[in-house]
Structure 1
Amino acid sequence: MNLLLAAIAPVFAIILYVYCKDEYEKEPRRLLLYNFLLGAIVSILIATILYYGSDAIIKFDDEFSIVQQFFKAFLVVAIIEEFSKYIIVRYFAQPNKEFNEPYDGIIYAVMVSMGFAATENIMYVLEGGYQVALLRAFTAVPAHATFGVLMGYFMGKAKFTKHPSKYNLLGLFLAVLFHGSYDFFLFINFIPGVWIGAFISLGVGIYLARKAIKKHQKNSFFKF
């Protein structure tokens, strides 16, 4: 039980932070819960199916190949995981009438991402223990949240523009770009010290995510 709490605590801390940043028109908690559960269950299932499919098609047989690890990070892991989240936001959250201002793109994308992160984190922490829980609380979990904010920023813009596909796909692209960058530097850890690139990438992502939150707050339809 304590390990389970350690696994989900950072997830709910981030959810609370993003929820409190929704200053002018809170989303229905039931709808937020639905998005979280869809991320925790459906997104994980989609990702698992796609991983099995990719394993049958693509073989990465040299763990010390920078090129192979690049393709694995960007074209397998990042695309599969971010697409599995994107599909929920795009076809469940975004069409909902409660999705009525740009910031909603951020909060729903984060809810789906945190659902995904919760399931993933529970599996890793139950296997690896408290040390893994502590490490992931400051790395993988905030990383998933950051990718969610970046995706959601543009998906929030997409709902209120004449060119929604452009902004939706831009959000997906940005999430894949930062996810792939983060994973790539971790995958090539056979090069001493290169892992620092993952934290630089995450730091840049967090900086942009905070700017994205402030911008949508500033432009809220309900501010006045």
Structure 2
Amino acid sequence: MNFLKYLPLLIAPLIFLILIFFARKIMEKKVLNLFASAYFLGLLTAIPMILVLYFVYSYWLTHVQSLRRIVFYSFVLIGFLSELFKFLLLRFYYLPKKSFTKPFDGILFSVMIAMGYATAANVYFFYEWRYTDGIRIVLYTLPVAVFFISIIMGFFIGLSKFRSNNFDSLTGFSAAVILFGFYSFCLLSGDYLLLSLIGGGVILIAFLLAAKSLNSKTNALL
């Protein structure tokens, strides 16, 4: 069925709706609106990467075949650019808000921004992916990858507000760039075994950090 090929485009928006559904039961309306805005502003964080990839593919690197090009694409054009604008939005727009009251909020807002990013990026890749034949793997795994990577970045950025420590923010940003770079590298190189191994590790770390942030008092994390 034709509908099935569009199914992966619904993953990130569906996660957004699920998060909003549960958040509306525990958040005040003002905070809920701020939380929802993270998704829509997150859509914008994909634009720089999309523009650069389009420009580079059209006018410079027409084939991603050599190891150096794969590394450059993965860690600089995709990893760094993608995480930079998500980081800037979370760190300098949402983190200073008064409604940002606990470290776990860093995870919540980071995930919401990431779902916005994944929505826009998946639409672009759906129509413009020209790098490998595994487009369906890209579309299905991208929202999942950025979901768990955003938990890791959000954990450290959430901590940074309460420890007044820029090192935590940079730790979260650096980890996100490296992890998303490895994710992109595995896709571009077609190494799905490595993708599975790294993915399993990222999911485990994300669960542990989320549990630590959720179940611990603020002072215990500092």
**Separation in structure 1 between the aligned mates of residue 187 and residue 110 of structure 2, nearest angstrom:** 24
C-alpha deviation, 1:68, in angstroms: 2.6
Answer yes or no: is 1:32 the counterpart of 2:29. Answer: no
Asked if 2 retains the 8 angstrom alpha-carbon contact of 1:37 and 1:115, the reply is yes
Asked if 2 retains the 8 angstrom alpha-carbon contact of 1:143 and 1:202, the reply is yes
C-alpha deviation, 1:8, in angstroms: 4.6
**Separation in structure 1 between the aligned mates of residue 60 and residue 180 of structure 2, nearest angstrom:** 21
**Separation in structure 2 between the aligned mates of residue 135 and residue 48 of structure 1, nearest angstrom:** 19
**Separation in structure 1 between the aligned mates of residue 4 and residue 117 of structure 2, nearest angstrom:** 18
In structure 1, the residue matched to 2:197 is: 200
In 2 relative to 1, CA 162–78 (structure 1 residues): closer, same or farther, beyond 3 Å?
same
C-alpha deviation, 1:51, in angstroms: 4.6
Q: Trace 1:52-201 onto structure 2 (pairs within 5 A).
A: 55=56, 60=61, 63-125=64-126, 135-136=137-138, 138-163=140-165, 165-189=166-190, 194-201=191-198
Which of 45, 48, 54 is the equivalent residue of 1:46? 48
C-alpha deviation, 1:171, in angstroms: 0.5
**Separation in structure 1 between the aligned mates of residue 22 and residue 170 of structure 2, nearest angstrom:** 25
CA RMSD of aligned residues (A): 3.4
**Separation in structure 1 between the aligned mates of residue 64 and residue 49 of structure 2, nearest angstrom:** 22
In 2 relative to 1, CA 170–44 (structure 1 residues): closer, same or farther, beyond 3 Å?
same
**Separation in structure 2 between the aligned mates of residue 133 and residue 15 of structure 1, nearest angstrom:** 23
Deviations 1:15-66 (A, max 9, x none): 46666897x96472211111100011x212333455578x39x955763322
User: What is the aligned length?
Assistant: 210
Percent of aligned pairs sharing the same letter:
23
Asked if 2 retains the 8 angstrom alpha-carbon contact of 1:74 and 1:176, the reply is yes
Partner of 2:39, secondary structure, is helix
**Separation in structure 2 between the aligned mates of residue 85 and residue 34 of structure 1, nearest angstrom:** 13
C-alpha deviation, 1:184, in angstroms: 1.0
C-alpha deviation, 1:146, in angstroms: 1.2
Deviations 1:156-195 (A, max 9, x none): 10010031x1111110101011111111122223xxxx32
Q: Which amino acid aligns with 2:68?
A: V
Q: Gapped runs of 5+ residues in structure 1?
A: none
Q: Gapped runs of 5+ residues in structure 2?
A: none
**Separation in structure 1 between the aligned mates of residue 128 and residue 52 of structure 2, nearest angstrom:** 23
Asked if 2 retains the 8 angstrom alpha-carbon contact of 1:7 and 1:122, the reply is no
**TM-score when normalising by structure 1:** 0.78
